[in-house]
Amino acid sequence: MNTRSHQQITPELRAWIVAQAQAGQPAEAVLQAMKASGWDEDVAIDAMESTLRAHLASQPATPVQPSAPAQPSVAAQSGEATQQPTGVPVPEPALSESPLYLDAGDRRVYVLQSMRNPRVVVFGNLLSDEECDALIEEARPRLARSLTVATKTGGEELNDDRTSNGMFFQRGESELLRRIEARLATLVNWPLENGEGLQVLQYRPGAEYKPHYDYFDPAEPGTPTILKRGGQRVATIILYLNEPERGGGTTFPDVQLEVAPKRGHGVFFSYDRAHPSTRSLHGGAPVLAGEKWIATKWLRERRFD
């Protein structure tokens, strides 16, 4: 039986959703409450979005506001308090014919897993053991406490959610980097010059990066400054350079997916708009034993200089 086709969105449910939004309840909390009551997740999301769209259309002068500014409301997280951004073209591996392998120019890469929504692809054999070791050794002398982009100012800042050590390479600064960057550009069909420089991160036991989005929040005052260099981020590629003993996976909480940090493998995910509807929320789970090394490549809309 198709559960979704037998679940009706009633007036009582719509009234309850509006009440939760007006009370400033987080979208995830409302969604979890509906799922706990037996609602199919897709039906619940459709109900939230259609209800809030209709409510806001009927009251254009009084949009729903959260009661606590630090906690986005259902309306804000579902994109109904403001116009949802228009989607843009994003990188995309050649997976239309469900291949087991892809030609990345100088290397045959394995397709291990592919998800459409969110767009997540897990690749194997993306880097050789020698390339993993070389990236770690080139990065090690330049490590410092990792910073995050400060979207309020356009600069960088320390963030308690990110407890790794890291560094950035300039794009193309060595033969090793040029080879890997060309491989990634070929693999996901995106111009090499649209990529940021590779970032290498080291996570020791207990280190993590709590769930976050990689795109730049359009509502933050520093975002226009950031976007002058290449536009928005539209995709991420995470490369696993070693294997922690336990923990350290890449998590996608919206779809309850965890990608294991297997040496030489990588995970690609894209997001065609700066909005939670992309379901691109992700994080680095705590390392429970050993240490984890990864390299991250962010891809922009346009040339990044």
- Reply yes or no on whether the pLDDT at 156 is more than 60: no
Is there a cis peptide before residue 118, judged by omega within 30 degrees of 0? yes
Distance CA 136, CA 149 (A): 23
- Reply yes or no on whether the pLDDT at 4 is more than 50: no
pLDDT band at 163 (very low <50, low <70, confident <90, very high): low
How much is the pLDDT for 131? 98
What are the structural domains, with CATH classification, of the chain? 4-78 (no CATH), 101-300 (2.60.120.620)
Rounded to two decimals, the pTM is 0.71
* More confident: 72 or 228: 228
Cβ–Cβ under 8 Å, residues 64 and 55: yes
pLDDT band at 94 (very low <50, low <70, confident <90, very high): very high
Distances (CA, A) of 245 to 33, 266, 295: 36, 18, 18
Instruction: Please give the mean pLDDT across all residues of the chain.
Output: 85
Cβ–Cβ under 8 Å, residues 269 and 236: yes
How confident is the model over 17-49, as pLDDT tens digits? 877 776 666 677 777 777 777 788 878 887 887
How much is the pLDDT for 160? 55
- Reply yes or no on whether the pLDDT at 146 is more than 90: no
How many percent of the chain have pLDDT more than 90? 63
- Reply yes or no on whether the pLDDT at 216 is more than 90: yes
How much is the pLDDT for 245? 97
Q: What is the mean pLDDT of residues 263-276?
A: 97
How much is the pLDDT for 78? 45
